[in-house]
Structure 1
Amino acid sequence: MDLHQLMILRELGERGSVTAVARALLVTPSAVSQHLSALQRDVAVRLTEKRGRTLVLTPAGEALARAAVGVSIAMADAERAVHAFREDPVTPVSVAAFHSAGFAWFGALIEALAAHNSPPVSVSDEDLPLSDFSALVADYDLVIAHRIDHEQRWPDHLAVTPLLYEPFDVAVPRGHPLATRTSLSVADVAGEKWISPHRGFPVAGALDVVAMAAGCPLSIGHRINEFFVAGRVVASGGGLALMPRYTLMPGPDAGYVLLPFSSLRIGRQIDVLSRPETLLRASVRTVLDTLITVAHSKRPEPDGDSARSPVA
Structure 2
Amino acid sequence: MELHQLRILRELADLGSVNAVAKALFVSPSAVSQHLAQLQRSFPAPLTQKDGRRLVLTAEGKLLAAAAASVASTLAEVAAKIRTQEQDQNVPIRIAGFHSIGQTIFAPLLSYPHGQLPPLHFSDEDVSQQDFPALTSSYDLVLAHRMPHTAAWPEDRIAVIPLAFEPLDIAIRRDHPLANFEELSPEQVIDERWVVSRSGYSPADVLETIAALAGKAPRVEHRVNDYATAGALIQASGCLGILPRFTARQTLNEQVTLRPIKNLNSGRQIDLLVRAEHLHRGTVEEVIEAIRNTVKRLVIG
TM-score, normalising length: structure 1: 0.67
Equivalent residues in 2 for 1:230-241 (5 A)? 230-241=230-241
**Counterpart in the other structure of 2:274:** 274
Matched to 2:205, the amino acid is G
Structure 1 residue 292 displacement after superposition: 0.4
Q: Which residue of 2 aligns with 1:229?
A: 229
Question: 1:209–1:266: 8 Å Cα contact kept in structure 2?
Answer: no
The Cα shift of 1:79 comes to 8.2
Query: Residues 101-112 of structure 1 correspond to what in structure 2 (within 5 A)?
Result: 101-112=101-112
Aligned to 1:140: 139
Question: In the alignment, is residue 131 of structure 1 matched against residue 130 of structure 2?
Answer: yes
* 8 Å contact kept, 2:104–2:250: no
Moved more, 171-180 or 94-103: 171-180
What amino acid sits opposite 2:161 in the alignment? T
Q: Deviations over 1:69-122 (max 9, x none)?
A: xxxxxxxx998645334966513211111111011111111212x345221111
**Aligned-partner Cα distance in 2 for 1:212–1:201:** 17
Conserved 8 A contact 1:194-1:219: yes
The change in CA–CA distance for 1:251 and 1:97 in structure 2 (over 3 A counts) is closer
Question: Within 5 A, what are the aligned runs for 1:175-214?
Answer: 175-214=175-214
SS state at 1:127 partner: coil
Distance in 1 (CA, whole Å) between partners of 2:114 and 2:138 is: 26
C-alpha distance in 1 between matches for 2:76 and 2:204: 47
Q: Name the CA distance, whole Å, in 1 between partners of 2:196 and 2:76.
A: 51
Counterpart contact for 2:228–2:251, Cα < 8 Å = no
TM-score, normalized by length of structure 2? 0.69
Q: 1:259: how far off? A: 1.1
Unaligned runs of 5+ in 1: 3-76, 302-312
1:242 is displaced (CA, Å) by: 0.7
Greater radius of gyration (CA):
1
Q: Is the 8 A contact 2:172 2:257 kept in 1?
A: yes
Q: Deviations over 1:124-155 (max 9, x none)?
A: 11111122211110111000011222122112
Q: Post-superposition shift, 1:163? A: 0.7
Q: CA separation of 1:282/1:180 partners in 2, compared to 1, >3 Å: closer, same or farther?
A: same
Q: Does 1:121 align with 2:120?
A: yes
Give deviations 1:251-305, integer Å, cap 9, x for gaps: 674422211123211011111011111111111111001100110012136xxxx
Q: For residue 289 of structure 2, what is the aligned residue in structure 1?
A: 289
Q: Secondary structure at the match of 2:139?
A: coil
Q: Which residue of 2 aligns with 1:61?
A: none
Q: Deviations over 1:208-247 (max 9, x none)?
A: 2222222332221111100010111111125111111111
Counterpart code for 2:141: L
Give per-residue Cα distances to partners, 1:175-212, cap 9 Å, x unaligned.
Answer: 21112222212211121121121112233222222222
Distance change in 2, residues 1:121/1:78 (3 Å): closer
Counting aligned pairs with the same residue, the percent is 36
Residue 227 of structure 2 contacts residue 251 of structure 2 at CA under 8 Å; is this kept in 1? no
Q: Secondary structure at the match of 1:225?
A: coil
Give SS of 2:249's match: coil
- CA distance in 1 between partners of 2:275 and 2:226 (Å): 28
User: Contact 2:77 / 2:281 at 8 angstroms: preserved in 1?
Assistant: no
Q: Is contact 1:148–1:203 with CA below 8 Å preserved after alignment?
A: no
Alpha-carbon separation, structure 2, partners of 1:240 and 1:196: 8
The alignment status of 1:83 with 2:65, answered yes or no, reads no
CA contact (8 A) 1:173 1:237 kept: no
Contact 2:235 2:255 in 1 (8 A): yes
Write the distance in 1 (CA, Å) between the matches of 2:235 and 2:76.
59
- Look up the match of 2:6: none
Give the whole-Å Cα distance in 2 for the aligned partners of 1:78 and 1:213.
49
Amino acid at match of 2:289: D
1:147-166 Cα offsets, whole Å, 9 max, x none, are: 22212211231111111000
Amino acid aligned to 1:212:
A
Structure 1 counterpart of 2:167? 167
Partner of residue 148, structure 2: 149
Contact 2:186 2:213 survives alignment (8 Å): yes
What is the CA–CA distance in structure 1 between the aligned matches of 2:145 and 2:252, rounded to whole Å? 27
In 1: Cα distance, 2:190 partner to 2:153 partner: 31
